[in-house]
């Protein structure tokens, strides 16, 4: 069973009575007051230690769940990405939308020794990133080392030639 969900996140405007500028101000004000008095209400993500050629990542342990946010690798992002020829950009997106999720699925199920519903992955189109959630891993003594090992295995898998993806 695959851990991927074929969805992308979308932002919506809930009313037409408020201008976009006013809506933004309302969101900023509500965000600043919504979490008052709650310790650690906004999670702090750590950058994945070590270097991976295949992706960039940040992670956190939230309510006993490992949450990882995967991004395109640095050499495929931002200004340099937009300056690349169309063919190169299409190759990167094929990698990110086809090859990466296949390897993420296979390596995550093996490494975490779990399946759906404990493991979930979701692509977010607006920022071209993957979210990954592994439920109930708060018992680990060294989450940082465990996640680093996962990153190493995923990166190694993505570096190997693979005709099937």
Q: What is the CATH number of the domain that holds 99?
A: 3.30.1360
Structural domain boundaries, residue 120 = 43-159
C-alpha distances (whole Å) from 110 to each of 3, 68, 127 are: 12, 17, 27
Q: What pLDDT, on the 0 to 100 scale, is given for residue 11?
A: 45
Q: Helix H segments across 40-126? A: 78-83, 86-94, 100-112
Q: What pLDDT, on the 0 to 100 scale, is given for residue 86?
A: 76
Q: What pLDDT, on the 0 to 100 scale, is given for residue 44?
A: 72
pLDDT top residue among 84 and 105: 105
Residue 17 to residue 147: CA distance in whole angstroms? 45
Position 7 in a domain: no
What is the β-pairing status of strands 129-134 and 119-124?
antiparallel
Compute the average pLDDT of residues 101-107: 96
Compute the average pLDDT of residues 34-49: 60
Residue 10 clears pLDDT 50, i.e. is over it: no
pTM for this entry: 0.69
Q: How many domains does the chain have?
A: 1
Q: For 46-74, how does the pLDDT look when each residue is reduced to its tens digit (9 = 90+)?
A: 776 656 788 999 999 999 999 999 998 87
Q: What pLDDT, on the 0 to 100 scale, is given for residue 53?
A: 83
Compute the average pLDDT of residues 118-139: 92
Position 6 in a domain: no
Position 83 in a domain: yes
Q: What share of the chain in percent tops pLDDT 90?
A: 45
Compute the average pLDDT of residues 10-39: 57
Residues 158 and 55: beta-carbon distance below 8 Å = yes
CB atoms within 10 A of CB 34: 10
C-alpha distances (whole Å) from 51 to each of 66, 142, 151, 160 are: 20, 19, 9, 16
Position 11 in a domain: no
23 exposed, middle or buried (CB, 10 Å; 0-12, 13-18, 19+)? middle
C-alpha distances (whole Å) from 8 to each of 106, 111, 123, 135 are: 21, 25, 6, 21
Q: For 11-24, how does the pLDDT look when each residue is reduced to its tens digit (9 = 90+)?
A: 444 455 667 677 66
Q: What pLDDT, on the 0 to 100 scale, is given for residue 105?
A: 96
């Amino acid at each position: 069973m695959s851990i991927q969900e074929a969805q992308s996140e979308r932002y919506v405007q809930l009313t037409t009575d408020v201008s976009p500028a006013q809506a933004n101000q309302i969101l900023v004000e509500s965000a600043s007051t919504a979490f008052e008095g709650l310790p650690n209400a906004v999670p702090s993500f750590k950058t994945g230690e070590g270097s991976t050629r295949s992706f960039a990542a940040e992670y956190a342990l939230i309510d006993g769940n490992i949450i990882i946010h995967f991004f395109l690798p640095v050499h495929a992002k931002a200004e340099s990405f937009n300056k690349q020829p169309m063919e190169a950009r299409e190759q990167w997106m094929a990698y990110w939308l086809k090859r990466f999720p296949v390897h993420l699925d296979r390596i995550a199920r093996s490494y975490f020794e779990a399946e759906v519903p404990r493991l979930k992955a979701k692509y977010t189109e607006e920022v071209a990133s993957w979210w990954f959630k592994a439920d109930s891993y708060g018992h680990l003594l060294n989450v940082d080392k465990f996640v680093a090992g996962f990153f190493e295995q995923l990166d190694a898998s993505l570096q190997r030639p693979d005709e099937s993806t």
